[in-house]
């Protein structure tokens, strides 16, 4: 057996295993959200995304609080698959998450302690 084949097979198996674990985690998140949320969260999410600007601001704030746009995106995908949000509500939140990440990096880069 060639060592090149062994390395590629290990990479492919690792990739498929990681993808399987990620999808399983998303399924667990979706089931937990369906079981634990009521109409309050759905109403809150609907209010936060009534227009695009509010959605972008909400995405930026959530990302600034949890410091990860990836987690924000995964949460939003979980909300959609649980039926708590529509796809049209998620786009501004994901854009806001990217903006929040950029702003957080700029705050660190500017050394705001001088002000």
Q: What are the tens digits of pLDDT across the range 86-114?
A: 888 999 999 999 998 888 888 778 876 77
Cβ neighbours around 80 below 10 Å, total = 15
Residue pLDDT, tens place only, 22-79: 889 888 888 888 888 777 888 888 888 889 999 999 999 988 888 888 888 888 988 8
DSSP annotation string for 35-79: HH--HHHHHHHHHHTSSHHHHHHHHHHHHHHHS-HHHHHHHHHHH
Q: Where are the domains of the chain?
A: 3-114
- pTM confidence score: 0.72
Tokens of 58: 């909400």
């Amino acid at each position: 057996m060639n060592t090149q084949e062994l390395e590629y097979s290990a990479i492919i198996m690792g990739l498929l295993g990681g993808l399987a674990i990620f999808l399983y985690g998303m399924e667990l998140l979706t089931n937990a959200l369906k079981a634990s949320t009521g109409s309050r969260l759905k109403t809150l999410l609907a209010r936060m995304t009534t227009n695009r600007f509010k959605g972008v601001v909400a995405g930026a704030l959530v990302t600034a609080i949890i410091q990860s746009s990836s987690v924000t995106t995964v949460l939003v995908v979980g909300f959609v698959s649980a039926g708590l949000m529509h796809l049209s509500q998620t786009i501004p939140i994901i854009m806001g998450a990217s903006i929040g990440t950029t702003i957080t990096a700029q705050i660190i880069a500017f050394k705001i302690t001088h002000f």
